[in-house]
Structure 1
């Protein structure tokens, strides 16, 4: 499974990295084809969110905690401090780790969007 990672380097500049989260087949029920699951991630909690219509987050910002963010509806466009831009469609999983440094910018659709935040352990 593909995941986009946003992280800060030692100088505080933010960057993207494409990561692959390995999935392993697991037969949960006899006679039913297996499903594919990743290894467990230590999560603290889950939070659901609504980004209101017309929200503009054009300023640089860091993430408050290391977390997975999953967009359920709408798109988001990220820009890292190294000048790279990525557009993520609904269903995209992003590992946001730039808790220090300059951070990143994000742009959202006019109609608003739902997302899920999953803070991770260290």
Structure 2
């Protein structure tokens, strides 16, 4: 199975599906049991420093842990303003399906996101980050916003 398919299947089954089926009668929510697993997906998290600049940290997101999400959407279009420095519009996972994207943070450091690596965008203030496609003509991705105050499940490498 291609890594793209594994990434999409992982997010749809582990993160989205349980949240979409959590409603019971009269709009109340039931608790979803968190599965225990030793698996992990590589991830990079964009965060703000105390002074408002943007940096990143590498880590992972454990598999089969349920994130608090209610929706997602896909995109394969990019606009010029998106390539300029900007903060994330919301806390969200960005799952790359196709393309290689080099992100740049405030101090000039860069990292590469490719299919199979999850981006967690949490740099909500300041100048933010910028990005460019590397050896790619398009960037196909899923945006999966986290609910306010929800655990992002990210575990930083040490």
TM > 0.5 fold call: yes
Asked if the contact 2:102–2:111 (Cα under 8 Å) also holds between the matched residues in 1, the reply is yes
Asked if the contact 2:42–2:116 (Cα under 8 Å) also holds between the matched residues in 1, the reply is no
Count of paired positions:
107
Cα drift, residue 62 of structure 1: 0.8
Backbone CA RMSD of aligned residues: 1.9
- Does residue 98 (structure 1) correspond to residue 123 (structure 2)? The answer is yes
Q: Greater strand percent: which structure? A: 1
Match of residue 5 from structure 1: 45
- Does residue 20 (structure 1) correspond to residue 53 (structure 2)? The answer is no
For structure 2, the 5+ residue unaligned runs are: 1-40, 150-158
Cα drift, residue 91 of structure 1: 2.5
Asked if the contact 1:56–1:108 (Cα under 8 Å) also holds between the matched residues in 2, the reply is no
Relative contact order higher in (CA < 8 Å, ≥ 6 apart)? 1
**Which aligned pairs between 1:26-65 and structure 2 lie closer than 5 A?**
37=64, 39-52=65-78, 57-65=82-90
TM-score (norm 2): 0.62
Cα drift, residue 57 of structure 1: 4.1
Partners of 1:57 and 1:108 lie apart in 2 by 12
Q: Greater helix percent: which structure? A: 2
Asked if the contact 1:58–1:107 (Cα under 8 Å) also holds between the matched residues in 2, the reply is yes
Note the alpha carbon deviations across 1:36-64, whole angstroms, 9 max, x for none: x2x21101310111135x95744210111
For structure 1, the 5+ residue unaligned runs are: 24-36
Asked if the contact 1:71–1:114 (Cα under 8 Å) also holds between the matched residues in 2, the reply is yes
Match of residue 101 from structure 2: 76
Partners of 1:21 and 1:92 lie apart in 2 by 10
Task: For residue 130 of structure 2, give the secondary structure of its aligned residue in structure 1.
Answer: strand
Note the alpha carbon deviations across 1:79-122, whole angstroms, 9 max, x for none: 00022101111222100001111100111255212100000012
Partners of 2:116 and 2:80 lie apart in 1 by 20
